[in-house]
Structure 1
Amino acid sequence: MNQFVVVACLVAAVAAAPSSPQVAARRALPALQHEEVHDEFGQYALRYVTAEGTVVSERGRLVPTPGGNGYVLVVEGETSYVGDDGKTYVTKYSAGLDGTHVEGAHIPQ
């Protein structure tokens, strides 16, 4: 659930940014690359690149709980995009046994 919230916030932030007609037209194009792999246990890896230069990569892997009586899906990922100001913004995130962590040079600490 935490991973969904993080990804949804990132997508909302990118979508809410002001844009020019050219940027809006590029954002309407389908992904240039899309790779996705799943296994029978729910682990996965995905990566996609959009026409506007957004790159998203994420993986989810099962990790044993500290008590050893089950597993937790740990999610790690990175999103990068070029803002309307021409700067590249990179956000790294993880969600797992130690909570949810998000970091990026543009995110206040």
Structure 2
Amino acid sequence: MNKFFAVFALVAISMAVAAPSSPETAARRALPALQHEEIHDEFGQYALRYVTAEGTVVSERGRLVSNPDGTGHVLVTEGETSYIGDDGRTYVTKYSAGFDGVKVEGNHLPVAPEPLPAQ
């Protein structure tokens, strides 16, 4: 569950980078979602998608996957967020959280340097 919140925090930060620069943009961003779909099941699995007036699209799903050792299940989360920045470019952030940790990718995000080889 902590991975889930970490992914949401990263997405929120990436969306905050595109803070409104004009009253018109701010007004559009205050409008409710144009589309909103959300499905949940009794096991905690879910899928959601929404589209806002300014062009932000969020889609995410969480599904239960068996532990490799067969002792239970883990909720694996995958999603994508896209928005149009003040510069007119579309920014896409893809993320996942599961057995292999949290992964976030997007062409607009900084890339960590390669680690130095051990000596």
Give the gaps of 5 or more residues in structure 2. Answer: 112-119
Segments of 4+ in structure 1 off by > 4 A?
A: none
Alpha-carbon separation, structure 2, partners of 1:79 and 1:24:
19
Amino acid corresponding to residue 77 of structure 1 in structure 2: G
Q: Which has the larger radius of gyration?
A: 2
Alpha-carbon separation, structure 2, partners of 1:71 and 1:9:
24
Query: In structure 2, what is the equivalent of residue 48 of structure 1?
Result: 50
Alpha-carbon separation, structure 2, partners of 1:21 and 1:13:
21
Query: In structure 1, what is the equivalent of residue 11 of structure 2?
Result: 10
TM-score (norm 1): 0.94
Kept in 1, the 8 Å contact 2:81–2:94? The answer is yes
SS in 2 for 1:4: helix
Give the gaps of 5 or more residues in structure 1. Answer: none
Query: In structure 1, what is the equivalent of residue 96 of structure 2?
Result: 94
Amino acid corresponding to residue 65 of structure 1 in structure 2: N
Greater shift in the superposed pair: 95-104 or 17-26: 17-26
Greater shift in the superposed pair: 76-85 or 4-13: 4-13
Alpha-carbon separation, structure 1, partners of 2:51 and 2:25:
15
The one-character-per-residue Cα deviations of 1:16-45 (angstroms, maximum 9, x if unpaired) are 524211110001100000000000100000
The one-character-per-residue Cα deviations of 1:21-75 (angstroms, maximum 9, x if unpaired) are 1110001100000000000100000000001100000000000001001000000
TM-score (norm 2): 0.86
Name the structure, 1 or 2, with higher relative contact order (CA <8 Å, separation 6+).
2
Alpha-carbon separation, structure 1, partners of 2:66 and 2:41:
17
CA gap of 1:13–1:108, structure 2 versus 1, over 3 A, is: closer
RMSD over aligned CA atoms reads: 1.2
Query: In structure 1, what is the equivalent of residue 78 of structure 2?
Result: 76
